[in-house]
Chain A
Amino acid sequence: MTLEQLLADTKPALLDIQQRDLTEIALAKDWQAKYRVLMQLGKKLPAIPEKMKQPELLVKGCESRAWLMHYHDKASDKHYFVLDSEARIVKGLMAIMLCLVNGMTTAELCKFDLWHKFDQLALKPYLSQSRGNGLLAMAERIKSCC
């Protein structure tokens, strides 16, 4: 497995999440339904193989670990990411985050306001408790790529 392959596998998964799952989450009739979808999201993203999880890729949450790989296509100035997490719900939420930023230009990434976006998707409560689940740490790591 290479970064290129992981990037190639991540791209269609994110597209699928964006086109189908986000609506499903928004329309979920109760929290159980919402979480069932959330947990499926993580499964759609490819897993980063253990031996590729180098220490410098680690994004530490208080309760679970996550990993972020970054690729900057200099010709088009676009940023692409691959991520993984030990925890399924966190990975699902991170997948949503990735949908929003994958393929952004440096200028777009710098301007990107995750809080505002998550608020629009009614997912803001997950961010505020994220000191524990590492979501905010992941957001900061993504932002630091610009």
Chain B
Amino acid sequence: MPAFDVQQFRQQFTFFQQQPDWVYLDNAATMHKPQVVIEAVTRFYQQYNSNVHRGAHQLSQQATALFEQARNTVASYINAQHLHEVIFCSGATAALNQIAFGLMHTVLQPGDRILLTQLEHHANIVPWQLHCQRFGVIIDVVPLTTDHQLDMLAYQQLLQLKPKVVSFSHISNVLGHIQPVAEMVALAKAAGAITVVDGAQGIVYQQPDMQQLDCDFYVFSGHKLYGPTGIGVLYGKTTQLTRLTPIFAGGEMIDSVSFVNTTFNKLPFRLEAGTPNIAGAIGLSAAIEWLQKINNKQIVQHKLLLLKEFYNGLTAIKGIDILSSSVHNAGIVALNVDSEHPADVAELLNQQKIAVRSGQHCAMPLFSYLARPGAIRCSFAAYNTLDDVNRCLLALEQAVEILTA
């Protein structure tokens, strides 16, 4: 097998030719799109644009075929058992909101518990919290160990409280830590819980296998998998999706309407109200088809190499407080410069054209736990090079020098 050629891989992203001066390390926020994805979206608008599922004309049938083909691509990529188990939505946040809303109205009863973890993104906290008070549902939280990994012992203890739902991220969007997702799902299922996996960061790290993982729900955003923004996937097992009360109503999701009663269409349409993001779904499908031609093992290896180089470099810079562990890390490093505010460090990196994110990364509960005002987050992707790593390290050194002068 030929070795991974990062330059050849990178050339497929027009962005880097347009912005050659920038080092882009904000991949956990959104990834760049290869040319094939941009072309697929453009081609749809130029050649096939029509609304789906409803048109009396052939153009609509063509658009529908492309849209449903996209569903097929996603379903086979994540190895869903049925096509209708792939629901298109605007992203992981929308998917989690639909799940929380849907289960609160049907499954959860006053006094029931749901189990989350300390390092969840707000999108996997607030949608639950929104309903908890009204429905009298209690949230429990899995704490972290001293090295900021999930405390699996505490997890098992909390499962003994028999939560109805367990919802957690595959990979922490702040720390990059990879959770033992298979083990966690198995334990939660053994405790009788409905399992929800937030795959927002996980999807690009590892091709998930729904039938093997056997979780009830899995969600992700297209734009973190080389796809367009505004498209995402809510995967659910048929039995679980059927239990969800739709959060949005109208359009294709309707079967019949009178002012007395409305009946809903079958899955997947029941949970896809309004005109879907057709071009987005087609773009995501193009991204997945393109990605399947690339050996993921090589990408994982390449990112490990970048990570190793980055950690090595960081230890040589004085006063760096690294929050992420270098083991079980998917390529995200959260760090601070000792006693400096992350906003200052980020601004000094910005001046040097290093794109990182700073702040609390939509994970305030994690930062109150870590007792830090926030952090700089450097997140690496397959198209990043060793040169990117070294430029970031040099820029960090320069920032430290200016801050401590």
Contact = CB atoms under 8 A, between A and B. Distances in A.
Given A62-B359, A63-B359, A88 B341 contact: yes
Given A63-B358, A63-B374, A87 B402 contact: no
Interface residues of B, number: 18
Contact of A35 (B341, B343, B358, B402): B402
A64 B405 CA distance: 22
Contacts of B346: 63
A90 interface: yes
A133 to B, nearest CB: 6
Contacts of A129: 350
A33 B125 CA distance: 43
A61 B358 CA distance: 12
Given A39-B403, A62-B359, A89 B344 contact: yes
A63 B347 CA distance: 11
B402 A64 contact: no
Given A36-B402, A39-B402, A64 B341 contact: yes
Given A32-B402, A39-B403, A86 B348 contact: no
B14 interface: no
Contact of B373 (A62, A86, A90): A86
Interface string B336-352: 00001111101110110
Contact of A86 (B343, B351, B402): B343
Contacts of A32: 398, 402
Tell me what chain B mostly uses at the interface: helix, strand, loop, or mixed: helix
Contacts, number: 45
A105 B402 CA distance: 37
Contacts of B350: 129
Interface string B317-357: 00000000000000000000000111110111011000000
Interface residues of A, number: 17
Contacts of A133: 343, 347
Contacts of A35: 348, 351, 402
Contacts of B373: 64, 86
Interface in A34-72: 35-36, 39, 61-64
Interface string A84-113: 001111100000000000000000000000
A64 B373 CA distance: 8
A1 B311 CA distance: 44
Contacts of B347: 87, 89-90, 133
Interface in B373-405: 373-374, 398, 402-403, 405
A36 to B, nearest CB: 6
B343 A64 contact: yes
B344 A88 contact: yes
Contacts of B358: 63
B122 to A, nearest CB: 14
Nearest to A92: B344
A123 to B, nearest CB: 13
A30 to B, nearest CB: 10
A133 B346 CA distance: 10
Interface string A9-21: 0000000000000
Nearest to B341: A87
Nearest to B405: A36
Nearest to A126: B347
B33 to A, nearest CB: 23
Nearest to A31: B351
Contacts of B359: 62-63
8 contacts: A35-B402, A39-B402, A63-B374, A64-B341, A86-B341, A87-B344, A88-B341, A89-B347
Interface of B: 340-344, 346-348, 350-351, 358-359, 373-374, 398, 402-403, 405
Given A36-B402, A39-B403, A89-B343, 17 more contacts: A35-B351, A36-B405, A39-B402, A63-B359, A64-B341, A64-B343, A86-B341, A87-B341, A87-B344, A87-B347, A88-B341, A88-B403, A89-B344, A89-B348, A90-B347, A132-B343, A133-B347
